[in-house]
């Protein structure tokens, strides 16, 4: 896409601040996924599979309880101040998590997951709401694709490094050496993230006059319901929630599929998740070419169906000969992830640009509320599936849910009011 000289000048002006924003996002996403995947792998290796569901619930709760307040803060105060405060909270969370990891104190590890999610709740509306303030309207989808690449790379590295770190240890001493690597790593990365946050662009606060939403989840649910009056925005919020529900559920299933059913190492199991994220990364850039903020609904149903077919294929892979299982599993996860990237990027961009400037933080917080309600439900569903079926069957069920969602989107988009 070609931009006129004035827009190009604005893009160049915002680029240096975008680098600081992307670095801040990168280190936070890396730390979050490095620690969480390490904890989940430790739980599965210790036979504490159900802790995966518990950790997922604890990670989702702060977004459900405090998203409305986080959106208010992003609209009331300078987003840079909110970002810096959230990064200091991350440093506190990682201190608790490092202690829990070194002592194998599972309550400490779970407490870290909750505190880390709380800082992400505060961080999200401020950092995501900064993109439309930094770049012109026409460039927002591309900026989001770049940021998705950065965060996806961080997630990839965090998940992959978790497997590598734990495999440096020995199961007979509960992976002590690996746990030391994880604990030290998260503290160093958290400190670097704090330093990067001081480079985030500072813009005047929007200064919303709305009262603080003391009732939290009630305000978020009410705001979400009111947004149905804007069908395309409501569709984007529903699609965003569905994507994070599916992504969370699939990652939990991959951990049990790799370690318990296929008897892979922690490293190889983490690399299965990496293949999914690589696909999302590629799909994000494909979305930037296929869509823009004014034209995106045409890709929603096909990409949801593509995700479903990829996940069903993952569930069927173990039926093949052993020599074909691993490469085809990587391919099926990558294809599913690519469809997921095409699915989520245009909706994330639309959620950022559709609201008025003084309501942007509120709408992004509603998006977080919906997404993490989905993640909360994914933890509950995972616990049920883990107790009832083997991981391959659970993966096929995930694929079926995605295919059903694709059919729902097809039905909705037959009505002109829902289309963009």
pLDDT tens digits, one per residue of 272-324: 988 998 898 889 889 888 988 788 999 999 999 999 999 999 999 888 888 88
CA–CA distances in Å: residue 150 to residues 30, 155, 192, 275, 307:
10, 9, 16, 16, 22
Q: Which pLDDT belongs to residue 239?
A: 94
Strand partners, 295: 292
Long-range CB pairs of 312-315 (<8 Å, 24+ gap) are 312/395, 312/396, 312/399, 312/400, 312/403, 313/399, 314/392, 314/395, 314/399, 315/392, 315/393, 315/394, 315/395, 315/396, 315/398, 315/399
Over the chain (420 residues), the average pLDDT of each successive run of 10 is 50 62 84 85 78 81 82 79 86 88 86 84 75 64 71 78 78 75 91 87 67 80 90 93 92 89 86 87 86 89 96 90 89 95 89 79 83 87 91 96 95 84
3-state class (DSSP) for residue 208: coil
For residue 91, the number of C-alpha atoms closer than 13 Å in the C-beta half-sphere is: 15
Give the span between the Cα atoms of 79 and 84, in whole angstroms: 9
Please give the mean pLDDT across all residues of the chain.
83
Asked if 75 and 67 count as a contact pair (C-beta separation under 8 A), the reply is no
Residue 115, judged by CB atoms within 10 A of its CB (0-12, 13-18, 19+), counts as buried
In the chain, what are the domains? 16-199+215-418 (1.20.1250.20)
pLDDT tens digits, one per residue of 172-224: 566 788 889 999 999 999 999 899 888 876 776 666 667 777 777 888 888 88
């Amino acid at each position: 896409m070609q931009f006129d000289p004035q827009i190009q000048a604005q893009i160049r002006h915002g680029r240096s601040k975008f680098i600081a924003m992307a670095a801040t996002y990168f280190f936070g996403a890396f730390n979050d996924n490095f620690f969480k995947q390490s904890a989940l792998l430790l739980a599965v290796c210790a036979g504490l599979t159900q802790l995966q569901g518990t950790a997922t619930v604890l990670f989702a709760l702060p977004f459900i309880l405090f998203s409305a307040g986080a959106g208010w803060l992003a609209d009331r105060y300078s987003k840079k101040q909110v970002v810096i405060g959230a990064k200091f909270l991350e440093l506190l969370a990682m201190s608790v998590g490092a202690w829990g990891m070194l002592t194998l104190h599972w309550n400490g590890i779970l407490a870290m997951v909750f505190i880390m999610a709380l800082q992400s709740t505060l961080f999200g509306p401020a950092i995501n709401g900064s993109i439309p303030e930094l770049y012109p309207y026409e460039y927002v989808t591309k900026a989001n694709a770049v940021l998705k690449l950065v965060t996806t790379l961080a997630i990839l590295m965090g998940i992959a490094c978790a497997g590598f770190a734990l495999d440096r240890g020995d199961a007979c001493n509960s992976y002590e050496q690996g746990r030391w690597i994880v604990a030290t790593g998260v503290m160093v990365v958290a400190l670097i993230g704090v330093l990067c946050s001081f480079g985030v662009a500072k813009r005047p606060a929007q200064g919303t006059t709305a009262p603080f939403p003391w009732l939290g989840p009630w305000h978020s649910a009410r705001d979400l319901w009111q947004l149905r009056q804007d069908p395309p925005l409501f569709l984007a919020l529903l699609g965003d929630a569905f994507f994070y529900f599916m992504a969370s559920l699939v990652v939990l299933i991959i951990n049990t599929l790799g370690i318990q059913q296929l008897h892979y190492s922690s490293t190889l199991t983490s690399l299965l998740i990496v293949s999914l994220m690589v696909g999302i990364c590629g799909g994000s850039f494909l979305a930037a070419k296929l869509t823009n903020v004014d034209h995106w609904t045409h890709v929603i149903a096909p990409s949801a169906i593509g995700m479903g077919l990829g996940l069903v294929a993952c569930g069927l892979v173990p039926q093949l000969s052993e020599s074909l299982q691993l490469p085809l599993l990587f391919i099926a996860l990558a294809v599913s992830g690519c469809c997921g990237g095409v699915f989520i990027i245009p909706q994330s961009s639309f959620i950022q640009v559709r609201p008025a400037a003084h309501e942007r933080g509120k709408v992004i917080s509603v998006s977080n509320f919906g997404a993490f309600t989905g993640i909360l439900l994914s933890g509950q569903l995972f616990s049920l599936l883990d107790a009832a079926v083997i991981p391959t069957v659970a993966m096929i069920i995930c694929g079926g849910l995605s295919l059903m969602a694709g059919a729902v989107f097809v039905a909705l988009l037959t009505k002109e009011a829902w289309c963009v």
